[in-house]
Chains A and B, each alone.
Chain A
Amino acid sequence: MKTLRRLSWILALVLAGPLAQAHIASNGFLTLRVEHAQVSGALELAIRDGELAVGLDRDGDGKVTWGELRASQTALQNYVLQHLHLTGADGPCRMGFSSVQVNERVDGNYLWLPFTAACGSVGTHLSIDYTVLDAEDPSHRGLLTLSSNGATQTAVLGASAARLFELDHPSPWSAFIEYLRAGIWHIWSGIDHLLFLLSLLLPAVLVRRQSRWEAVPMAAPAFANIVKVVTAFTLAHSITLSLAAFDVIRLPSRLTETVIAASIIVAALNNVFPRVTEGRWRIAFAFGLLHGFGFASVLAEMGLPKGARLVSLVAFNLGVEAGQLAVVLAVMPLAYLSRSTAFYRRGVMPWGSSAIAALALVWFVQRALG
């Protein structure tokens, strides 16, 4: 009888036969982007694997909540510091982490841990030593996607010693193009800067008389208004962007992002409840200084290539200007042509501005609360 009892479990195992391997094994996803001196990326682990690594379920109820994940952030970062080593030409890279997030994959939620790695100069090779979960689950693998200057390679990490990856190298010209493109992309994708500018430009084709908006009679004053606002904004954010890029001044990004949201509210509400009706360029300049710090944090994430810092900074700034100018050129002629309609003065001005302010208010609350 004793033999049978012992046999019963093995029966259960064997009978599963070749189907016993039902579920996909444990995979982590490591994304690395090498751009000039900077390596940025993210490690994605299934919540279950995060639990196994550091213990996320703090109250032991068998469920991992977002609050528990956030509370385990430091432990996760320390774990990654011990189990993921990147080495460039100048030796080990120094890792810095941003806030943990969640990514939904088809097989469940993954924790998403973004980081940057300062490698000095990366050189032609990057060594990656990935030992995540090696003690807890030897079948765990890290699926790597490594892109360096436009070329992408993939590999499976784990279960072996550190691996060396060859990197593609860019020309200075391609760096210029890349930063120019990043500048344009940033101004278009982060619509907060554009909304701020548009809020200040919407009334440029109008004048305020007796508490009412009226169309400007001629193109010249409208054009002058636009040029003044755009120039003031450009000048202001260029100053602070340069100062921040060269590490003269740094502001915490949460503060700048929150104030940027506030600046949009102010600019938009000024169209609904006008206070400043002349010389809006002063608002553009004052808040433009803060928007420059916002651009700078994007640039800090990308990193400036050694030896081409100034060129890249100029390229990024030119990209921002080109992007904003394109929008101004697309929108303002329409605004000018429709300036005397009721639609523009009683529709676009109050409703459009309200919408912008409302959206900015949501951003403001989100950013202020972190």
Chain B
Amino acid sequence: MSSGIGRPRMQRGRLFTFFAVALVSAACLPLAHAGPYAPGSDSTVLAELPAGTHYADVSARRLAQGRVDVAIPLAQFYIQQSRLSGDLRYLGYAEAVLTPWVRQNPPVPNVLVLQATLQQSRHEFSASLATLDRALTARPNDPQALLVRATVLRVLGRYPEASAACERFAGVVEPRLGAICIQSLRGLNGHLESAYLELTQVSSQGWLNSERSWLYSELGEMAVRLGRDADAQRWFEQDLNLVPTDFYVRAAYADLLLRQARPGEALTLLKGRESFEPLLLRIAVAQRQLHDPQLAQSGARLRAAFAAETQRGEAVHRREQARFLLEVEEQPNLSLAAALQNWAVQREPDDVLVLVNAAKAAGNPAAALPALDFMRTQGLRDVRVNAAAAVSVGS
């Protein structure tokens, strides 16, 4: 082979080699990001900003520092956004707006009610009650303060006091609202069947959507505790038709479906609402039941959320954490520890259920005795708990 002829051809061959290899290498280059990175293009969207989180809104907040008539609706807006989006950050924004007004003397009752709502959301129940006392001292018949008070006491399982707050509430609002408050308490307090009947006979014609939604959600929960799952499903669906953003009811409905081994329907119900951790928990439970590989993602998100919360020294999601540990991670002992911590803070029927399930799975049913005693003494009736504990709890 003479080098005079061979060489150019060989060079072309090498050039081809070079570019072939260059192409392959370039194609392999964009690896998954394992750590901080610089996106390739300036137009890459990193985040979309939800309502009220724009820097420009800071000027409204500055205005709120000097004017309580701006601070109150702004804080209301943030708290409502928090409820609609499931985003806890909004509560921080509301707190920032309220802070200058909370220590105001004489107190502004509306500010205090908002503050108490924030505290309740963070499970600072005694602080919330103290704030409400201040508000009620300033304005004894404030319906909002009375309703928040009834709600906090109900979560704490202090039913007689909650009922008293409901009676006072009933004295200053439309009779139908008072009835919901009173009957829903009776439903927890030994009169489930008759309270349910009373409320089913209420005609909700001409009511506001928020009022009907309140009625349906109470009826749905009562039906669940009575074991009338078909009724409960109907109430939940009526509520969600009216207020699709009611994620409290959506969660309760999902639990109903999961209990009936209908995880596929639960997933459909919760689709697109992954940003709400309590709903994400139900999604993870459903994925677990379905052996859905996407559980890896949901599980990672929940794990990170619980870890961050633990590191912050907060415990607002203990109930969800206990369920996650039991129903997704299959760690009954850790689940029981979380359920006991949760029980020390709040005492709703779901909290009893979580504790009973965890105690049973951990092989330590006696750990749930305080909760079962609570049910017995209060006359709280819940067929789910009975089924889980496999003991009779009289009502």
| Cα-based distance from A230 to B169 in the complex (angstroms) | 87
If the complex has contacts A11-B210, A20-B82, A156-B312, are A105 and B304 also in contact, measured as CB distance less than 8 A? yes
**What chain B residues lie within 8 Å of A139 (beta carbons)?**
88-89, 91-92, 95
CB-defined interface of B112-149 with A at 8 Å, one 1/0 digit per residue?
01000100111100000000000000000001100110
Task: Determine the distance from Cα of A57 to Cα of B53 in the docked complex, in whole angstroms.
Answer: 11
User: Which of A26, A273, A361 sits near B22, CB closer than 8 Å?
Assistant: A361
Majority SS at the chain A contact face? mixed
Interchain CA distance A154-B96 in the complex, whole Å: 26
Contact B251 A19 (CB under 8 A): yes
B317 touches A63 (CB 8 A): no
Q: Are B55 and A140 in contact (CB under 8 A)?
A: no
B40 and chain A: residue at smallest CB distance: A66
Q: A27-B312, A107-B301 are in contact. Are A19 and B248 (CB under 8 A)?
A: yes
- Name the contact of B83 in the complex, choosing from A7, A13, A156 (C-beta under 8 A): A13
A24 to B306 CA separation, bound complex (whole angstroms): 8
* Contacting residue for B18 out of A6, A60, A272, CB 8 A: A272
Considering only residues 95-117 of chain A, those with a C-beta below 8 Å from chain B are: 99, 101-109, 111-112, 114
A6 and B121: CB pair below 8 A? Answer: no
Contacts of B89 in A (CB 8 A): 23, 25-26, 48, 137, 139
**B117 / chain A contacts, CB cutoff of 8 Å:** 10, 13-14, 20
Quick check: A107 and B304 within 8 Å, CB to CB?
yes
Q: Does the CB pair B17–A52 fall under 8 Å?
A: no
Q: A10-B147, A107-B304 are in contact. Are A69 and B155 (CB under 8 A)?
A: no
Residues of A within 8 A of B80 (CB): 9, 12-13
A163 to chain B minimum Cβ distance, whole angstroms, is 14
Smallest CB separation, A44 vs chain B (Å) = 8
Contact present for B25 and A109 (CB under 8 Å): no
B241 at the interface (CB under 8 A from A): no
Contact with A along B324-353 (1 / 0, CB 8 A): 000000000000000000000010100000
Query: Does A350 lie within 8 Å of B17, measured CB to CB?
Result: yes
Q: Given A55-B56, A66-B43, A362-B26, answer yes or no on A17-B151 (Cβ-Cβ < 8 Å).
A: yes
A140 B92 Cβ-Cβ under 8 A: yes
Q: Are B305 and A107 in contact (CB under 8 A)?
A: yes
A189 at the interface (CB under 8 A from B): no
Interface string of B8-30 (1 = CB under 8 A from A): 00010010011001101110010
A129 beta carbon closer than 8 Å to chain B: no
Residues on B with beta carbons closer than 8 Å to the beta carbon of A103: 33, 35-37
Smallest beta-carbon distance A157→chain B, Å: 10
CB 8 Å contact bits of B81-95 with A (1 = contact, 0 = none): 011011111011101
Residues of B within 8 A of A273 (CB): 11, 14
Residue among A3, A15, A48, A273 with the highest chain B CB neighbour number at 10 A: A15
Which residues of chain A have C-beta atoms less than 8 A from B214's C-beta? Answer: 11, 15
State the CA gap A137–B95 with chains docked (Å): 7
Query: How many contacts A-B (CB < 8 Å)?
Result: 260
Give the nearest-CB partner of B35 in chain A: A103
Please state if B22 and A358 are interface contacts (CB–CB under 8 Å). Answer: yes
Q: Which of B50, B93, B123 has the most CB of A within 10 A?
A: B93
Given the known inter-chain contacts A16-B248, A65-B43, A154-B311, please indicate yes or no for A48 contacting B53, CB distance below 8 A.
yes
B159 at the interface (CB under 8 A from A): no
Are A14 and B308 in contact (CB-based, < 8 A)?
no
A135 to B173, CA, bound (A): 37
Is A176 in contact with chain B by the CB < 8 A criterion?
Answer: no
A contact residues around B143 at 8 Å (CB): 3, 7
A55 to chain B, nearest CB (A): 3
Across-interface contacts of A60 in B (CB, < 8 A): 54, 56
Per-residue interface assignment for chain B, residues 275 to 307, with 1 indicating a CB less than 8 Å from any chain A CB and 0 otherwise: 111110000000000000000010011001100
Is A22 in contact with chain B by the CB < 8 A criterion?
yes
A136 to B57, CA, bound (A): 10
* Distance, CA A357 to CA B33, complexed state (A): 24
Chain B CB within 8 A of A148 CB: no
| Contact A358 B21, beta carbon cutoff 8 Å | yes
**What is the 8 Å Cβ interface bit string for chain A, positions 309-320, against chain B (1 contact, 0 not)?**
000000000000
When A9-B76, A15-B248, A27-B312 are in contact, do A138 and B92 touch as well, CB less than 8 Å? Answer: yes
> Pick the contact of B92 from A25, A106, A109 — CB < 8 Å?
A25
Distance, CA A235 to CA B136, complexed state (A) = 82
Residues of B within 8 Å of A70, CB to CB, are: 42
**Neighbouring A residues of B210 by C-beta, 8 Å:** 8-9, 11-12, 15
Contact between A102 and B35, CB atoms less than 8 A apart: no
Contact B113 A10 (CB under 8 A): yes
A13 CA to B18 CA, complexed, in Å = 66
CA distance A12 to B173 in the complex (A): 16
Most buried by B among A19, A46, A355, A361: A19
Cα–Cα distance between A140 and B259 once the two chains are bound (Å)? 37
Select which of B39, B76, B96, B173 is within 8 A of A137 by beta carbon: B96
Asked if B301 contacts A67 (CB within 8 A), the reply is no
Cα-based distance from A114 to B36 in the complex (angstroms) = 10
Q: Distance (Å) between the CB of A282 and the closest chain B CB? A: 24
Give me the 8 closest cross-chain CB pairs, A-B, nearest first. A67-B42, A55-B55, A22-B86, A139-B92, A358-B22, A47-B47, A137-B92, A101-B36
29 A-B pairs within 8 Å (CB atoms) are namely: A7-B144, A12-B80, A16-B83, A18-B121, A19-B251, A19-B278, A21-B122, A22-B87, A22-B276, A23-B277, A24-B88, A24-B309, A25-B88, A51-B55, A52-B53, A63-B48, A65-B43, A65-B46, A66-B43, A101-B36, A106-B305, A137-B95, A141-B312, A143-B308, A156-B312, A211-B3, A350-B14, A358-B25, A359-B25
* Interface residues, chain A, with chain B CB atoms under 8 Å away: 3-4, 6-27, 42, 46-48, 51-52, 54-57, 60, 62-67, 69-70, 99, 101-109, 111-112, 114, 135-141, 143, 154, 156, 210-211, 272-273, 350-351, 354-355, 357-359, 361-362
Binding site for A on B (CB under 8 A): 3, 7, 11, 14, 17-18, 21-22, 24-26, 29, 33, 35-39, 41-50, 53-56, 58, 61, 76, 79-80, 82-83, 85-89, 91-93, 95-96, 99, 113, 117, 120-123, 143-144, 147-148, 151, 155, 173-174, 177, 208, 210-211, 213-214, 217, 246-248, 251, 275-279, 297, 300-301, 304-305, 308-309, 311-314, 316-317, 319, 346, 348
